[in-house]
Structure 1
Amino acid sequence: MSKESTTIDVGESSNVTKSTSHVVVDEKKKKSFVAAASGGGYKRGLAIFDFLLRLAAIVTTITASSLMYTAEETLPFFTQFLQFQAGYDDFATFQFFVIAVAIVAGYLVLSLPFSIVTIIRPLAVAPRLILLISDTVVVTLTTAAAAAAAAIVYLAHNGNANTNWLPICQQFGDFCQAVSSAVVTASIAVVFFILLIVISAIALKRQ
């Protein structure tokens, strides 16, 4: 009785398995590359918007500080020994406002290189995290300056009958208009900072 030999060829099946695994790996690489490209695309758009917002905030803070710094009015009726004058340096709160908002404007200028880096490298985490932390600190300073100045502006417009503080805006109309405009402009800067913080938070979110 003759014996039949059985031959099992495993070489072809192993080659098929290897080629299949290569295809799976290539598909994973392709998907990860597409995901990274799409993520980098929208993050670059956020970075560009961040840069434009910083430019707008620079203009806003410089304007607010300049308006407060130049706020001054002298009433036309005065004598040789008595002169009615109002200026920002008559109020410690307004002096704090000018210094604080000027510091914020300087910070915004220094933050522009970091914002440019996030445009060039939208997936970089370190510069975006630095901007997020710094913006959070600076928005607190801006809010404090604007809120403190707003309280004095309110008293200047309305006074306080309980403490016999008379409203001075009836006489110093131009002065009050200037300081009010400065407070409003600083409040707009606060809104810009809130948007910048939201942008940084979104950009740091993982895919």
Structure 2
Amino acid sequence: MKSGDLTTSNVPQELSAVSKGKAPLLPVTAAPARPGGWRKGIAIFDFIIRLCAMAAALAAAAAMGTSDQTLPFFTQFFQFQASYDDLPTFQFFVIAMGIVAGYLLLSLPFSIVTIVRPFAVGPRVLLLIFDTVALTLTTAAGAAAAAIVYLAHNGNQNTNWLAICQQFGDFCQKVSGAVVASFIAVVLFVFLVVLSAMALRRT
């Protein structure tokens, strides 16, 4: 074997490729994914839930605020009427649902900020605090109104509270629908609080 053949056989293939002007083959690695990218998906879901909760709060306030029924009798001077403003609990319900709907409308820009900047902590903490307050207000208003609606449907013999829903059917139907809408808003607020807590969790 000649000395020239021995030298050529000992040169690695990569060095031979470089000597010929060709770049050596290197393994291609994919760029690592940015950690926490799922926060943007949570922020989008948060925005959608806020719209649904606002619609539920507005529906509850509108249904309760328009609940009014008058029973017809022979003369116009002797009539029975049922309206939401006859009971302070229902008045509180309408005011609370209006406040909650207004808050949800004002919170939409902050929710959009969390979509654009998923890693921003300040807007998310602010939403979490006010969502908890709104959840408490919605639960209190819905629970108080639900107690009155239960008495309107079933009455209470011990306190001589008569069931009025057999006479005021339309009135009871509206106030019952308002209470159901308020509890839908409560469930949506629970989801909002959970989503904010998940987005704030450190990875």
* 169, 173, 176: which one aligns with 1:173: 169
2:158 is aligned with what amino acid?
A: N
Residues 37-72 of structure 1, C-alpha deviations (whole Å, 9 max, x = no match): 231x21000000000000111111001000000001
Match of 1:141 in 2: 137
Identity %: 68
**TM-score for both structures, normalised by structure 1:** 0.82
1:77 CA drift (Å): 2.1
Match of 1:38 in 2: 35
* 112, 125, 138: which one aligns with 1:116: 112
Cα distance change, pair 78–53 in 1 and its aligned pair in 2 (3 A)? farther
1:38 is aligned with what amino acid?
A: P
Match of 1:101 in 2: 97
Match of 2:52 in 1: 56
Cα distance change, pair 128–172 in 1 and its aligned pair in 2 (3 A)? same
* 63, 67, 72: which one aligns with 2:63: 67
Please provide the CA RMSD for this pair.
Answer: 1.6
Report if aligned partners of 1:142, 1:190 keep a CA contact under 8 Å in 2: yes
1:95 is aligned with what amino acid?
A: Q
1:78 CA drift (Å): 4.5
1:155 CA drift (Å): 0.4
1:82 CA drift (Å): 1.1
Report if aligned partners of 1:156, 1:168 keep a CA contact under 8 Å in 2: yes
Match of 1:158 in 2: 154
Residue 132 of structure 1 pairs with residue 128 of structure 2: yes
Rounded to whole Å, the distance in 2 between the matches of 1:86 and 1:80 is: 15
Match of 2:26 in 1: none
Cα distance change, pair 78–198 in 1 and its aligned pair in 2 (3 A)? farther
Match of 2:182 in 1: 186
Rounded to whole Å, the distance in 2 between the matches of 1:99 and 1:55 is: 19
Match of 1:91 in 2: 87
Would you identify which runs of 4 or more consecutive aligned residues in structure 1 move more than 3 Å?
none
Gap runs ≥5 in structure 2: 1-28
Aligned to 2:69, the other structure's residue is in SS state strand
**TM-score for both structures, normalised by structure 2:** 0.83
Q: Which has the higher helix share?
A: 1
